[in-house]
Amino acid sequence: MSNYHTVTIPLTAIDGDILSDIVFSNGGLGLEEKEVVYICSFENGFDKDRLFSELSNFLDPDQVVIETKEKQNWMESWKANFKPLEIGKRFLVKPSWIADSDSQRIEIQIDPKMAFGTGTHETTQLILEQLEDIVKQSDTVLDAGTGSGILAIAAEKLGAAKVIAFDNDPVAIENCEENLQLNHCKNVSAFAGEIESISEQFDVVIANINRNILIEIATQLIATCKKDGTLVLSGLLLEDKPAILKAYEHVKLAKSVDKGEWTCLVFKLN
């Protein structure tokens, strides 16, 4: 019987987008987001030295745990651990292999596969909770760094008339498009690319990425937001707040919401 390997890394040790790039450039089978850790899966015989070399640029190798498991149990174990999750006042995030429920909540079906964003991470939950109060009927929405597409899907289900979602990872966009189909989204368009490709402005702009990228693209993100629009940022640790507030000092901070060691910042444009 062939085996596979899991590589477990604390959520706080590395940004999810960076880890995703490293995992799949090294032939990873999957990347799962648990409560406090990432679990990365690899075929037997993968190049551990190369993986550790790339990870060591971002974290202490002592934070990484490798285990060997029976391959035949991997998919069933992965599915068994991904349960329906109630988020905020209105959302229920569930995998497609679980039957529709009688819940009065807005259901979002997500098959995460290789993309970041299953709903289990605090930053995803923080933004979903804010979108419940922000997105209005007929709004236009931009989702920067969409990952699995969960936030774009949520925006449409809240009534957005048009949602543009992009990610610089083509694998993430493939997963996003599959999730858009699962949720019968008609008003969401997704593409692989960078923010420089965006030339229009939106009522609501979402970015669940990481501090360094949010600082790097601050000017472009602000430019994509309409006058009187709303900019929602997360993927941020509490300690990232000062640097982000400095980078976005020309827009008004309307709200700051924390969950554990993570934060979500909501800005309003004048």
| Reported confidence tier of residue 113, pLDDT bands at 50, 70, 90 | low
Q: Which two tokens stand for residue 103?
A: 């819940």
Q: What is the DSSP letter of 184?
A: T
On the 0-12 / 13-18 / 19+ scale of CB atoms within 10 A, 200 is: exposed
Mean pLDDT of 93-116: 80
Structural domains in the chain? 3-79 (3.30.70.980), 114-268 (3.40.50.150)
| Cα(86)–Cα(75) distance, integer angstroms | 23
DSSP bridge pairs for 69: 4
Q: Which pLDDT score, from 0 to 100, does residue 72 have?
A: 54
Other C-beta atoms lying within 10 Å of the C-beta of residue 224:
20
Q: Which pLDDT score, from 0 to 100, does residue 3 have?
A: 77
Length in residues, the chain? 270
| Cα(187)–Cα(137) distance, integer angstroms | 12
Q: Which pLDDT score, from 0 to 100, does residue 35 have?
A: 76
Q: What is the pLDDT of residues 171-206, one digit of tens each?
A: 889 889 999 999 999 999 999 999 999 999 999 999
In terms of pLDDT, which residue wins out, 72 or 246?
Answer: 246
Extract the runs of DSSP E, i.e. beta strands, from 100-238: 106-109, 140-144, 162-167, 188-192, 202-208, 225-237
| Cα(80)–Cα(267) distance, integer angstroms | 38
Report whether 242 contacts 215 (CB < 8 A): no
Mean pLDDT of 71-93: 76
- State percent of the chain over pLDDT 70: 93
Q: Which pLDDT score, from 0 to 100, does residue 181 have?
A: 96
- State percent of the chain over pLDDT 90: 62
N-term to C-term CA, the chain: 62
Q: Which of 218, 212, 263 is nearest to 236 (CA)?
A: 263
Q: Which pLDDT score, from 0 to 100, does residue 1 have?
A: 47
Q: Which of 209, 202, 169 is nearest to 188 (CA)?
A: 202
| Reported confidence tier of residue 78, pLDDT bands at 50, 70, 90 | low
Q: Which pLDDT score, from 0 to 100, does residue 238 have?
A: 93
Q: Which pLDDT score, from 0 to 100, does residue 183 have?
A: 96
| Cα(8)–Cα(49) distance, integer angstroms | 16
Res 268 pLDDT > 60: yes
Alpha helices in 95-157, H assignment, sequence order: 122-134, 150-157
Q: Which pLDDT score, from 0 to 100, does residue 172 have?
A: 85
